[in-house]
Amino acid sequence: DIVMTQSPDSLTVSLGERATISCKSSQSVLYSSNNKNYLAWYQQKPGQPPKLLMYWASTRESGVPDRFSGSGSETDFTLTISSLQAEDVAVYYCQQYYTTPPTFGQGTKVEV
Amino acid sequence: QVHLQESGPGLVKPSGTLSLTCAVSGDSISTSNWWNWVRQSPGKGLEWIGGIFHTGNTDYNRSLKSRVTISVDKSKNQFSLNLTSVTAADTAVYYCARGASYHHYCLDLWGQGALVTVSS
């Protein structure tokens, strides 16, 4: 199975400041035939299910604010919140869907 | 608006079978989507259990494959999870989730989740 490792485990950021989360996969999730990275990001708020934020590593899901951005390729990925808002307090997970079983990172808790 | 809702017993005895159903509303289950089960426990984080297509094709996490069955009931627009020989390690919140149209393991819609506790 592909192992997804996120860092840091938790992050405290002031309102309006930038938050950056790293995700590393144990093998490349870039499919060479279509040049797509099979990497998604989810946001989970307390008592709620995960919500898809980003797919193909850098494509925002419909309705996701543009302060959220994703970058990276192959084995190294980043989720950036450019200006943290109070409603962004949550746990963020990366997930690879390159191969079965799809696997998730352990999560990064973002606090204010 | 498509909505997923899990239902089933919240308490299962050790060595018993965990059974959950996910009702799909707002759309037909017979679309091009895959339908998945994911669980979340404090010890293991988010873990994909398996998925099913409306034709009955399935894919299971090999770590659970010997104990898992996922089935679909198109007449009721729902799909189900059975997990046998449960132990305390299977205590978790169980989510049903829809695979996105562009990839069946990218999960674009989730149910609210069902807490299942394994205890005597």
- Sheet strands (E) in chain B: 3-7, 11-12, 18-25, 35-41, 45-52, 58-60, 68-73, 78-83, 92-100, 103-110, 114-118
Residues 6+ apart with CB under 8 A from B79: B21, B22, B24, B29, B35, B52, B70, B71, B72, B73, B96
B31 — pLDDT class (breaks 50, 70, 90): confident
> Is B45 close to A52, i.e. CB distance below 8 A?
no
> Is A55 close to B103, i.e. CB distance below 8 A?
yes
Residue A5 near residue A107, CB atoms below 8 Å:
no
CA distance A16 to chain B (A): 28
Q: What is the pLDDT of residues A38-90, one digit of tens each?
A: 999 999 999 999 999 999 999 999 999 999 999 999 999 999 999 999 999 99
Q: What is the pLDDT of residues A14-48, one digit of tens each?
A: 999 999 999 999 999 999 999 999 999 999 999 99
**In angstroms, what CA-CA distances link A98 with A8, B8, B106, B120?**
23, 31, 10, 39
> Is B113 close to A49, i.e. CB distance below 8 A?
yes
Interface test with A, best of B5, B70, B98, B106 (most A CBs within 10 A): B106
